[in-house]
Amino acid sequence: MPEVTSLAAVARERVVRAALRSDPRTSALADASLTVQPGGLSNHAWVADGGSGKFFVRLSPPEAVRLGVDRASECRLLGIVAHAGLAPEVIRCDPARRLLVTRHIEGHTLARDEATLPLNVERVGSALRQMHALPIPAGMRRVDFAAQAQHLEAQCVVSTPVSRQLRTSAHAAFGALSAASRRDTLCHNDLHHLNLVDGGDRLWLVDWEYGGAGDPAFDIASFVCQHDCGPREREVLLEARGDGLPALQLQAACWAFDYVQWLWYRAWPPSEGTDAVYGERAAALERRLRAHHPA
């Protein structure tokens, strides 16, 4: 087994070096030292140590497009949020090559328990306040969680009584959120602690592949759900973000966010090393969805 993994890693590195070499903006990094970055379940990432500094290099799998990722829109979004100081400088974003290269951030990725410390919850809320105030440019894709749910439902070919029951509840949750008629904003939509980097003077948001224009309630829900935030953390987050979200709407957004996560883990194609992890996460999300009503 280790030999197979090693061969796969060598093949991925060969692909990413070829992609780096294909453009003058990154050709100098093609022969740089590449250090594999752990933590990603679907993308592959390295830190490239080049002559002009360190850079983050990501190679995404082709399957991501099938599960709702729009790389061209991600590139447009990254340019905006990087300019606003929320994300690192983009060196090259190339959907055709499935390649992203940004300036490497000197800092550390937050651990799960760090993310829910009051100071960091407040920092996340402040980042949301800034992001949600940015203008939405023409051509930015709209991330519609209800549409994403339908897209993923079609990928999950096995229908069960539980999946049918949850689908009915999901329609109710999405309906309640749609009736609120909130103004669309730019959103990240995946505020997991692994996507939060403490740079000391600021909190950086990384991994914007599921971002776009959409309902800001899902940005708030993405942090709350993925960190099991209690009443106190929710209060701090909403106060820092401003423009409060009614409790019932946050409850519906959290349930709907978990539902889309559950579908995502069920729909991701089987592969060595992810089957068990994805299966466990899908099972945990299913238990939570069944235990709580969306509204």
Q: What's the token pair of residue 70?
A: 């729009």
Using the structure block, give the residue that is written with the tokens 């979004």: 77
pTM: 0.89
Are 149 and 257 a contacting pair, CB within 8 Å? no
Over range 76-89, report the average pLDDT: 96
Domain 8-103, second-level architecture: 2-Layer Sandwich (3.30)
Q: What is the DSSP letter of 56?
A: E
According to the model, what pLDDT value does residue 4 have? 45
Closest CA to 81 of 207, 226, 171: 207
- The tens digit of pLDDT for each residue in 230-274 reads 999 999 999 999 988 999 999 999 999 999 999 988 887 665 556
According to the model, what pLDDT value does residue 46 have? 96
Are 111 and 193 a contacting pair, CB within 8 Å? yes
Over range 160-181, report the average pLDDT: 93
Alpha carbon distances (Å) from 267 to 155, 177, 192, 289, 293: 6, 24, 20, 17, 23
User: 247-267 and 216-226 are packed helices; what angle lies between their axes, rounded to 10 degrees?
Assistant: 70
CATH number 3.30.1330.10 is the correct assignment for the domain at 108-291? no
According to the model, what pLDDT value does residue 277 have? 81
**What's the mean per-residue pLDDT of the chain?**
90
What gap in Å lies between CA 227 and CA 46, rounded to an integer?
26
Are 100 and 58 a contacting pair, CB within 8 Å? yes
According to the model, what pLDDT value does residue 294 have? 77
Over range 283-291, report the average pLDDT: 94
What gap in Å lies between CA 54 and CA 68, rounded to an integer?
30
According to the model, what pLDDT value does residue 39 have? 57
Domain with CATH 3.90.1200.10 in the chain: 108-291
What gap in Å lies between CA 180 and CA 250, rounded to an integer?
11
Domain with CATH 3.30.200.20 in the chain: 8-103
